[in-house]
Chain A
Amino acid sequence: MSSITVFKARNIITMDRNRPQATHVAVREGRILAVGGVDCADQWGAVSHDDSLADTVLMPGFVEGHCHMAETVFWEWAYAGYHDRTDPDGRLWRGKTDIETVIADLRAHLATLPDDAPLIAWGFDPIFLEAERLNRSHLDAVSDTRPVVVLYSSGHLMCVNSPALAAVGYERHSNIEGVMRGSDGEPNGELQEMAAMFPVMRRMGMDTRTRSHRPDHVRAFGRICQRVGVTTATDLFALLTDETAQTLSATTAEPGYPVRVVPAVSTIHSSPEEVRAQIADLARLNHDNLRIGPVKLMTDGSIQGFSARVKWPGYVGGQPNGIWNMAPDEIFATCELMQAAGIQMHIHTNGDEASELVLDALERAARKHPWPGARHVLQHAQMMGPALFARAAEMGVCVNLFANHIWYFGDQHAALTIGEDRAARMDACRAALDAGVHMAIHSDAPVTPMSPLFTAWCAVNRQTMSGRTLGAAQCISVEEALRAITLGAAHTLKMDDEVGSIETGKRADFAVLGDDPTLVDPATLHHVPVLGTMTGGYLNLL
């Protein structure tokens, strides 16, 4: 008989309505054997008691339904963003709220690099800086002899210094779209879009394609998750080759690896038929901590990039409607093929026109190939309202709303992108739940930092960076938000039978917290400390 360990906690928030709270949980073979009081497992035989978590509060391990393992690659570089951010090893990188701080911090970082290495930084966001645009003279002040590259958080821009410009031969005669110029006619260091950026990336060793599945990066991803209480996480646009899938499989199988990874293979890199064959092949590598199976579709762009497909009346600045990344015909065809093959789809739709079109495509696919348990998920779905949520509910389609956007970009959306009315009902958690849709909320890390308690705080308070409440009518309760980051997200991954609540039979996956999220002031929900996680019975405290 395997051993039974009974963990004592200050409180256990189970998300199981049969026993919403408990003080003890019994674990055997990596699963939850019993929940209740000190004697909860006594009927199962001899138990050993572990009181090391007695001062903590346990919740079901959080489930991040939309993030990307590529975040770990960025942490090879220096962080240059506006907000404070913590790296996988727990080091806090302070936010840089003016260009002078960017320069000073990068100069300090340069001193830590080998003599011949270029300085690469990421996460810079000019939208938050009031002063002049970052240009090459700022970065020449960091170094005028070694290449300096600052990637913007949007991924569509970078700024480089003079040595980096020289390395790619950009000069006043270069007639290249995306190589921006100053008033003197010389390139000013700002490079826009991949065509202009890629010659720099190629020379500075910034090929990130499959690096995130190398063992060191997979382990770093585990540490990112562990710091924020996440025990199940997606890699929602995975580029898997046979080789990287094997590495991913081996590394996530290491004893005590702290997170169950759900890669959703991208369909944009190959034909739907090939994706179908690839998934069938790769599924042999799956185990408790690796769940290859679903796919990811990209339909439109982003709202803040004005590339989301939005319905009338469009963007407030009169910008043309966004772009399709897949032609509507392809969306219909791919949805049908995946539905017929029994492959669950996570479908990126930011604008309401994209969400509506995808629902049309899913409806047509469902008529041809009925599959009641498909649980396809609209990812982001930021502009869906009650009518679209009602259709999703009718079809059993789930949504994963981008709650973090409210805080990070809410002010911009009200002022610059879709205007006040529609910004106030973005990421409409209240409407989704009222329509009976299965709902998760997410960070899209590294776009915003992974932290489910912060994401829950956003959905509860809908506070923006300027401090206003954006659309109070769409706020949800703390309990609803905690459900969204546990059982709600588990449902979207078809893992609600295994994770998402603390009840007998489920995996022993817990978030170990320093305070009780149901008792703190909801306005401080995001400040509840995370002490670590338990995954499959392995305790990984920070």
Chain B
Amino acid sequence: MLRRTLLGAAATTLALSTGAFAQDEPTKVGFVYVGPVGDGGWTYEHEQGRLAVEEAFGDQVETVFQESVPEGADAERVMTQMALSGADLIFTTSFGYMDPTINVAQKFPDVKFEHATGYKTADNVANYSARFYEGRMVQGHIAGKMTETNKIGYIASFPIPEVIRGINASFLAAKAVNPDVEFNVVWAFTWFDPAKESDAARALIEQGADVILQHTDSTAPQAAAADAGDVITFGQASDMSEYAPMPRVSSIIDNWGPYYVERVGQVMEGTWEPHSIWYGIDEGMVKIGEISDAVPEEVKAEALAMRDAIAAGELHPFTGPINRQDGTEWLAEGETADDGTLLGMDFYVEGLTGDIPN
């Protein structure tokens, strides 16, 4: 009983103090990460975003982060903790934090939340994501041109729309330049487990894949490919340039810094509004990492032209005619996919084999 009273008193004091001294106290920003900040991929880039916020606002901002937070009940505990300790804005940076974020946000109406790669919003919850599939198209093009065995291995994490979009986008681009290409998808059911990611890469390579695409967060598949020799890979979420020029020939870089700085600034000014944004190559949230010399000059030029065309809005990775895996029509000739379908994508396009687990 005593403890509860104390907690209540502490919360009241906290509320009073944040109200009274809002002008003087630094804005407190929390970050919830799914992996360790040193994963070299996804979480590493969010951490770069946090550092950009510190750099931009200096003393006016105080940031806290918690790494390796499991998606689920633990995430709610961590967010609640951050909100209780006075955070004004909390970035929750993995798809699986969506429902926990919404739940915690209901309990703390004065705290702002930003959830990455989901689709739910609320009065104090914004949603932001990047059009990684634009980068996947460029990867697919390079992969289709460079594979000699015509077997491309894909290490997928969880069967969520973001991952399925990536598989579809890269497959369509590879198929466009190489009709014989085949995709072998392995579901790792984890975002971060270097040993398992490495095992998956090895299994794919042993079965003849000479290109490995990954949608998991560590650099382990790069190490496995380097070990195997004649295999190319792409950096995922981060540049992973330590594995360039071979096996890593290019990469998709998630560039969160500018967005984080913008949103923290809005919270300071009191102009923050919930929204749902989806930025791509054009806005600079998705970047294509340097294409290494292992890629033939003409393929490199095509890939760069493709990137620029996507940025200019002249090219859409999902342009019809495209059929679904079962042969039914999805997009007619010349039609492009709308964001609604893309955000909820739960089907393979025609030509991909295997089933999506549910």
Q: Are these two chains actual partners, yes or no? A: no
